[in-house]
A and B are shown apart, each in its own frame.
Chain A
Amino acid sequence: MSAGRYHPLLIPGLALIVVGAAFASIFLGAVTISPTRIWAVLTGGGDMIARTIILDLRLPRMLLGLLVGAMLGVAGAALQGYLRNPLAEPSVLGASNSAALGAVCALYFGLSELHPLALPLLAILGGAIAILTLFLLSGSAESPLTLILAGIAVSTLAGAGISLALNLSPNPFAAMEIMSWLLGSLENRSYDHVWIALPCVIVGAALLLADGRTLDALTLGEEGAQALGVNLSAARLRMMLGVAIGVGGAVAVSGSIGFIGLIVPHLVRPLTDRSPSAVLLPSLLGGAALLTLADIGVRLIPSTNELKLGVVTALLGVPVFLVHLMRERRLW
């Protein structure tokens, strides 16, 4: 399956965009720092202020943008393949909402004031609980439909929990804090967040990337896949763990960022042979690039409050997505 799986320029092109976006993310920001000063910092020298801004603010932010975007992209591609549904996105199994609920609990009960890592850790715990519930709900059934329904149930329940926290929040400021976290952002993140997200994303993405063959076989339906030697229950377990760990970790550090996981697979698919496995790697790269670029946009668009990342990805993403769908409609 080596020849002709991708457009020849797809992977190099995406890799180039990712590197470009990463550098741009270091060079561009609210404060203008001359390229020579930045270069001095990157080569180990530079002045104090520039060092602080570049190394302590922009670098972790750039790393998180790449990690979270990559995870959302690959999770969207894997879930669309596994569920054989072009509407699937990372939040479909309920891991995103549950992770968000964990974070909201940390905010609501003031745990995030006690320790900065309480929020991401509770978010990861929330994601883990979601997957455990999903196991119990969907049992050993091999049909993806059961999994979708169970995912919707978990997701809705977690959503209700978030609404409850907003409903009961003691004052408008507390509600505001929760709302603005939910909108998603990479502002003011530190290396602690990078160290939380990194292992989650590596494990999650590896689990999903390794399952490309299974996704391809599922093109023929469940029985067709089984008859090609796929162990469906093992595949389902890997899929659920990959999404829960990866997306849970990503949401824990960034809040809910929508649309990346839905859009990116659709954008790259026409440049592949359209088999689910071929969409995985380009979606990982594309997600990383798109989220990093959106995060640069957030910093550069002049506004009184910094725009939230989730808002920008949706505002910019949806029109692009619609234009794209109109062109591709024929194939759906």
Chain B
Amino acid sequence: MVTIVAEGLSVRLGRHAAVRNVGVTMAPGTLVGVIGPNGAGKSTLIRALLGLVKPEAGQVLIDGRNVAGLDRQSVARSIAYLPQGQTLHWPLGVERLVALGRLPHLGPLSRLSADDAAVIEAAMARADVLHLKGRVATELSGGERARVLLARALAVGARALIADEPLAALDPGHQIDVMDLLRAEARDGALVVTVLHDLSMAARYCDRLLLMDDGALVADGAPMDVLTPDILARVYGVTARIERDGDVPLILPMGRVR
């Protein structure tokens, strides 16, 4: 079980205060959505949670230990990270790419064991990419590639997963698949933190939403408490229709607030 805590976290990128005084405790078994307008500091926040950027003030604790004091490999074993975009620099085979997820577990000269191979296979099955096994990752469609990279993150087998915009480039069907998958990970006891732009998806799937604006955490709570007309107008500058279809919340941005 992994718990991630940010205490008074501030990050400065150059001269820009990207994250300002964020305090949050994220418990295992929850699916946490990070939302906010472009440039609100969402990606910087999650990168700071992983220890990829140094905080200017405050600290990040992973299971009570300061991430700044942990070596990269033990962070890598606790938290899997799916970066934004689909950076892929070599035309690797799909299976080989997913296998990269096992790197944090390998000793300097050891090879992949049968256990590793089983984890890789299972990760590919969960992300629904087993049929792409023999393909070259750079020749896949955007959506296929996104799912292969998600399988790569799952192959780490970490008890926490941080995903930066995993729905970008996915068609509606696969968006639902990915969100189902993230929720299933959370139900199984993992902590899942994901940056999202689709507010309806965020409201439907997440247990908790963190709303960022200009580097600050401006709302934190159950989705329907965060996504109020008031807050949407203030933070996104939009009017929105907020409805419920049974249990399923729908948030439809309608127009700019003038």
- Which listed segment binds A: B95-103, B210-218, B238-246? B95-103
Once the chains bind, are A213 and B81 in contact (CB under 8 Å)? no
Q: Which of A217, A226, A229, A274 has the most CB of B within 10 A?
A: A229
Q: A1-B99, A219-B100 are in contact. Are A229 and B112 (CB under 8 A)?
A: no
**Residue in A84, A219, A229 whose beta carbon sits within 8 Å of that of B73 in the complex:** A229
On whether A227 and B52 interact (CB within 8 A), knowing A84-B89, A218-B89, A219-B89, the answer reads yes
Pairwise interchain contact B73-A331, C-beta atoms closer than 8 A: no
Asked if A52 is at the interface of the complex by the 8 Å CB criterion, the answer is: no
Complex CA distance for A229 and B72, rounded to whole angstroms: 4
Q: Is the CB of B96 within 8 A of A331?
A: no
In the complex, how many residues of chain B place their beta carbon closer than 8 angstroms to a beta carbon of chain A? 38
Interfacial residues of chain A within 1-51, with CB under 8 A of chain B in the complex: 1-2
A221 to B97, CA, bound (A): 13
A235 to chain B, nearest CB (A): 11
Whether A227 contacts B81 in the complex (CB less than 8 A), given A219-B90, A276-B90, comes out as yes
A contact residues around B57 at 8 Å (CB): none
- Residue-wise interface mask of A (193-235) relative to B, using a CB-CB cutoff of 8 A (1 in contact, 0 not): 0000000000000000010010011111101101111110000
Task: Please report whether the interface of chain A is mostly helix, strand, loop or mixed according to DSSP.
Answer: helix
Identify which of B47, B103, B138 contacts A229 (C-beta below 8 A). B103
Q: Chain B residues near A223: list those with CB within 8 A.
A: 47, 52, 81, 83
- Whether B189 sits at the interface, judged by CB under 8 Å, is no
> Which 3 A/B pairs are nearest by Cβ-Cβ distance?
A229-B76, A227-B81, A229-B73
In chain B, positions 66-94 with a C-beta closer than 8 Å to chain A are 71-77, 79-81, 83, 85, 87-93
Find out whether the CB atom of A213 lies under 8 angstroms from the CB atom of B106.
Answer: yes
The CA of A216 and the CA of B72, in the complex, are separated in Å by 16
- Asked whether A228 and B89 contact (CB < 8 A) given A219-B97, A223-B47, A331-B138, the answer is no
Q: Which chain A residues in 126-160 approach chain B with CB under 8 Å?
A: none
Q: Which of B47, B52, B73, B112 contacts A1 (CB 8 A)?
A: B112
Find out whether the CB atom of A220 lies under 8 angstroms from the CB atom of B87. yes
Q: Scoring B residues 115 to 137 as 1 if CB is less than 8 Å from chain A, else 0, what string do you get?
A: 00000000000000000000010
The interface bits of chain A over 80-93 (1 if a CB of B lies within 8 angstroms of the residue's CB, else 0) are: 01001000000000
Contacts of A226 in B (CB 8 A): 50, 52, 72
Q: Does A306 contact B (CB under 8 A)?
A: no
